[in-house]
Structure 1
Amino acid sequence: MAIEIEQFMCRSDNFGVLVHDTKSGETAIIDAPEEAPILKAIERTGWRPTQLWITHHHADHVEANLGLKQRFGLTITGPKAEAAKIPGIDRQVVEGDTLTLGTERVEVIETPGHTAGHISLYMPGAGIAFTADTLFALGCGRLFECKPPVMFESMKKLAALPLETVVYCGHEYTLSNARFALTIDPTNSALKERVREIEKLREDDKPTLPTTIGAELSTNPFLRFHDKAIRRNLGMEDATDEAVFTEIRKRKDLF
């Protein structure tokens, strides 16, 4: 495959990601949580970055923007709706815009909810999506700037990607998400098996990401609002999908 990924930890639970196109030699950084781990990953791989793609304005995703830009002369791209809050931004993008990394096309998907201007990035040729703090493994982002219906629509967009799409998220929240998911979907055998795998990975201090759209559709309660067993468990058999999603998000906030 022409695309290689280097995933690594930043801060306490952020994921840093380098995306490398082997044909052109070009490299992009996905978000900038912390400069030192990113520099170590660049040194480890030998991939010199030329682009920095920002998904949203939160400090734990933009902290190293200016330092990296000064060091590497990066072009920083981020959501137009949050441009005023993104240090060093050069290019502002909206839904339907495309980026390029060497020969690879990258589609911008607006996925507000966690923040009002959050974007996700999808590489159809490589079958990879970067969803940051919208879609997590077995979870979704906390709603800081939007109401549940906004996040509901964003999650539906991501759920419509091909099942085999490999998904990189912004944080290592999976074990906590897994324990919550069992309270919503306790009879799901695929979920119970996945939780066992996640517990083993974390015991061994290994990352639980990436995931796939297919895995999330079968186990992530935030994408399973239509499931009859979940609806029975919540006492919401006749509710709308949006109402079920909203109740699940409310319960996660209190978990």
Structure 2
Amino acid sequence: MFGWLRRRRRQHAARPLPEALWQSTLARYPFLGRLSTPELARLRTLAGEFLGSKEFHGAQGFAITDEVAAAVAVQACLPVLYLGLDWYDDFVGIVIQPGEVVARRTVMDEQGVVHHYDEVLSGEAMDRGPVMLSWPDVADAGASADAGYNVVIHEFAHKIDMRDGLPDGCPPLPAGFLGAPSARAARSAWLAVMQREYEAFREKTIIAERFGGEPTWLDPYGAQSIDEFFAVACEAYFVNRERFAGEFAALLPLLDGFFKPNQP
């Protein structure tokens, strides 16, 4: 790292992003302009605190600049704007790749047969481990917002989902969430809606891919599992709320209630 980010680490003080860096980040990602003035001020401060608590590493010789780190920090802080950075306190490292990564996977099917396959990744979040991101996807998030795509928010949504264990499409919920009498009831109510919306989306994806039906607006990767559906939904919710509200009206109260608690 170099420049402002290096200097601020030596000072060990959390400071908001410098004006020039902040303005260039806002210009790169126009969807941030939907935030109110107080929200933008909070996001700027939160991003500075985020940078003071995380360590960035460039893979394959990729250089971590102030611009790279700020781009990740600002987008990663969107989901926790009202929740706080404690939701990200289970890890420190963020690895930035110069491009997509091919990961070798091994799975066992129901018959006990082991299968090996390659998966192309633009990002990955490890349970209580680092987050990996492809810089081209991070950098292009301004242009891809129309499609509801954002790799940073996707991976950090997984981090939020995993706070209570394995990713299952439901983050930890408090008693009283949307009127539920207990945390257990809140979870049941959340999953009832999320599962229904996931199954409907999966059906649309299958029809589109196998039978030439209309392509889904939301990334079809969300049809892989309910936890991926949650992460993909969070991407669209934060970068293109208007389209998301039209496509997934049933999910809007859930995400509003969780990500914006006590907000009108």
- Rg larger in 1 or in 2? 2
Q: Which has the higher contact order (CA 8 A, sep 6+)?
A: 2
Which has the larger strand fraction? 1
TM over 0.5: no
Band of TM-score, shorter chain: under 0.3
Higher helix share: 2
Name the TM-score, length of structure 2 as normaliser: 0.27
